[in-house]
Structure 1
Amino acid sequence: MANTIDSKNKRDRLAPRREPYWELLKKGAAIGYRRLESDGEGTWIARWRDDEGKQKYRALGNFKEFDDAAKAARAWVTACEQGASPKVTTVKEVCETYVDALKAEGRTSTAKDAEGRFSRLVYEATIGKLAIDKLKTSNVQKWMNDQIDDDDEADEEDIRRSKDTANRNLATFKAALNLALNNRLVATDAGWKTVKAFPKVGARRKDAFLGMEQRTALMKACPDDLKLLVKAMLLTGARPGELATLNASDFDKRLGCLTLKGKTGARTVAISTAAAAFFAEVGKDKIAAAPMLATSYGQRWNKDSWKKIFKEAVDAAKLPSAVVMYSLRHTAISEMILAGMDSFIVAKLAGTSVAMIEANYGHLKHSVVTAKLDAVAML
């Protein structure tokens, strides 16, 4: 062609214009460079002629080197020649197509579930704006990692559950991407095939519930400062991070309630008479902004300060190694359910959803109902 674009010096001498300067890559395929009016690098575009003689175009973006732009153009042309769609299809569009396909198959509930996941995690996210053929393994892995609950208030069980949820999101996401592959919207699944689910997170830790003797043994094994935190968790079922941020003023002695602040926002909850007596004693003579529960050094608790000594207490009490700080919350919630408390009330006290309570503790609720039914003389 008359104008060459294979070096920066040659491109810099080109006159700015809307029509790209083209260079042939092979028969039926070319790469173009559009010279901008302003200073700086121009943009690249690929062109390919299909079997019907129709020209197809693909914007490639910015490249400093001709070889890099040509490589991207050749990859697009090769994909088109192998049957992939020449048009730009975004990840968001791929997911929308998948939801529509599920609806067309009559899988209404699955479609609703998939659309909910995509609405939260794809449609308005950075990954949703990417072209499907530009999706990289690193993009999908970052998308997975960003779903993990690893803030200062998250304990091991919070992290496990968020990884388990991320795995389900990945399965749905991959199903949409694989449909795009089958529909030839992309030539390869290299951008997502090797992304693996988080291992060993699909089930709650075994032995997470502590019986009364185990609780007593654990309390005896704890140093005095940790013992107060452990007792507070058993009395309230709150998250450890919520109790770590609790101030003396967050306990209302007159009403017998606590104001907890955490990952689900602030909530004021009623507490038992025993819990009220406990917090009244612990918070006695403390100023309003002082931590209600603190280490022996007067500092607020966090994961780093309780993790090691809690593990030592678990070992000293000869409890299962699976017992973690979250086991105390699980134990408290289980006891509430076993006592016959309504799921809505338990969910409000624990700062979670009724759905979560039913999903994880529903079997205990059934046991309570069965016991009550057994007490009724039917025949």
Structure 2
Amino acid sequence: MSRTLKESRLTTKNARLKLDLGQHWRSLDPSIHLGYRKGKRGGFWIVRYYLGAERYKQTTLAKADDLLPADGTEFLSFEQASRAAKDYVGRQIKERLAAVAGPLLTVEVAINEYLQMREIRENAIHGGSTGTKRDARSRLRKHVLSSDLARRLLLDLEVEHFVKWRQQLSGLAPQSIKRLINDLKAALNFAVRNHRKQVAADFERVVRDGLKIDEPNISQGRQQILTPDQLLKIIVSAAKIDKAQSLHGDLHRMVVVMAATGARFSQIRRMVVSSVQPERKRLMMPKSRKGANKAVQIYPISITQDVIECLFPVTKGRSPDEPLLEHWIRKQTGFGKWVNSARGAWKNPSEMDGEWKAIVADAGLPDGTIPYALRHTSIHRMITANMPIRTVAALHDNSVAMIEKNYTAFITDHIDQMAADIAVQLIYPDQSG
């Protein structure tokens, strides 16, 4: 290190007023010095830190609060300048360490790497481009890659950057915001796994807190528990809309499986012909890709004979590893003109958005009823049938903690009813007095 630093009194305006014009220093720690450059019309805060070999790096932070009150941004008090100096040096050190591991990463680079990975994975699984990948790319390009957030270094990301970005999403529907945030989370978490040295130690916490989903805004579906009559109307209307639009039973089968299993769309679309086991009246459901790798990749769900019969046309004479549920993929041949191009597996829930709205209207259900209501209804039905919560969670590829968190009201109400049903009367009228 260099020779001993001659320290000056910088903590108050009055102390700085007595200093001569020029630079004055105070040590914040052995390698970081906060400086004050006094001029004729006020002063500036500066910082320098030790690089080694008698070398320092120095930069100006902001104006001192000599003439105007400190505002934490343009004019800083001594305490604010001290924090700003330490933050600046901390970022510089992190950037130097990250640079050793490769070019500094931005949010944009992280997203593009993630989308490239998804494209490679989907091509390997499905042999071609998928609607899932296109939807994610479209959402991220429109709402993230076009924003200031995209140019932020991963190293410098703070919760407030996400908060500012999310304020720009106020016009989006809650479910659209949820999908977008989940896409962005996945991209940033993918970056962490591949570039650990190029992100801050608290990066995962920043992402978690900054992209925490506001449950009251996105959990409306959890209140959409369908009655048995409403569920039947949905199935009947699905068949009706399917026939009216000449969809060859594809829409009807998808809705039937969603209602019968309570599984996520992303799971159902990955089912293959051999997933149907008619002799055992069950479906082998692929587990979701959420969370860590899972040892068991499929799990059984019991179904009724009517579901088996509904699926029979798409299992007869087909290869066991072909996608179970397919639909016609359409292409545009002119303005407002579409024709069936080829059959392929479902890729994304958005592919049935228009038909689902028609189903809801035909069934006379409230506007805003979402397909996920079928999953919530399935979970609710099992809870109220006295099925153990652990079993309910397993049959819906979820954790006990998540079931208890999201369906607490239903569980509590049902326990209260069960307790009331088994309560024993202990005092009879002829015992009184």
Q: TM-score, normalising length from structure 2?
A: 0.48
Name the structure 2 match of 1:277: 308
Offset of residue 206 of structure 1 = 6.9
Contact 2:221 2:370 in 1 (8 A): no
1:85 pairs with 2:82: yes
1:57 partner letter: V
CA contact (8 A) 1:245 1:261 kept: no
TM superposition shift of 1:161: 11
Partner of 2:47: 57
2:275 is matched with which residue? 250
> Aligned pair in 2 of structure 1 residues 322, 213: CA closer, same or farther (>3 Å)?
same
1:48 is the counterpart of 2:80:
no
1:299 aligns with 2:353: no
In structure 2, relative to structure 1, the CA distance for the partners of 1:213 and 1:254 (3 Å cut) is closer
RMSD between aligned alpha carbons? 4.7
Where is the strand percentage greater, Structure 1 or Structure 2? 2
Q: Which amino acid aligns with 2:35?
A: W
Q: Higher RCO, 1 or 2 (CA under 8 Å, sep at least 6)?
A: 1
Q: What is the CA–CA distance in structure 2 between the aligned matches of 1:356 and 1:333, rounded to whole Å? A: 12
> Residue 86 of structure 2: SS of its match in structure 1?
coil
- Cα 1:292–1:240, aligned 2, differ >3 Å: closer, same or farther? same
What is the Cα deviation at residue 249 of structure 1?
Answer: 2.5
Alignment partners' CA distance in 1, 2:215 and 2:412: 31
Answer whether contact 1:221 1:313 (CA < 8 A) is retained: yes
Residues 258 and 270 in structure 1, CA contact (< 8 A), matched pair in contact too: yes
C-alpha deviation, 1:342, in angstroms? 1.0
Q: Distance in 2 between matches of 1:278 and 1:58?
A: 76
Letter in 1 for 2:353: K
CA distance in 1, matches of 2:408, 2:90: 36
Which of 213, 234, 250 is the equivalent residue of 1:218? 234
Assess, with a 3 A threshold, how the Cα gap between structure 1 residues 84 and 212 changes in structure 2: closer, same or farther.
Answer: same
2:82 is matched by which residue type in structure 1?
S
TM-superposed CA distance for 1:362, in Å, is 2.7
1:317 pairs with one of 350, 356, 363? 363
Structure-2 residue corresponding to 1:209: 225
Ranges in structure 2 where 5+ consecutive residues have no aligned partner: 3-20, 26-31, 39-44, 52-57, 65-72, 92-151, 168-173, 186-210, 243-248, 330-342, 426-433
Map 1:145-156 to 2 at 5 A: 156=175
The one of 283, 287, 293 aligned to 2:319? 287
Q: Does 1:375 align with 2:424?
A: no
- Classify 1:312/1:357 alpha carbon distance in 2 versus 1 (closer, same or farther; 3 Å): same
- Report % sequence identity: 22
Match of 2:404 among 358, 365, 368: 358
Distance 2:301 2:267 in 1: 15
Unpaired segments of 5 or more residues in structure 1? Answer: 1-17, 19-25, 31-44, 62-68, 94-125, 146-154, 167-194
Residue 139 of structure 1: CA displacement? 5.9
Whole-Å Cα distance in 1 between the matches of residues 164 and 267 of structure 2? 30
1:102 corresponding residue in structure 2: none
One-letter identity of the residue aligned with 1:334: H
| CA–CA distance in structure 1, aligned partners of residues 415 and 221 of structure 2 | 25
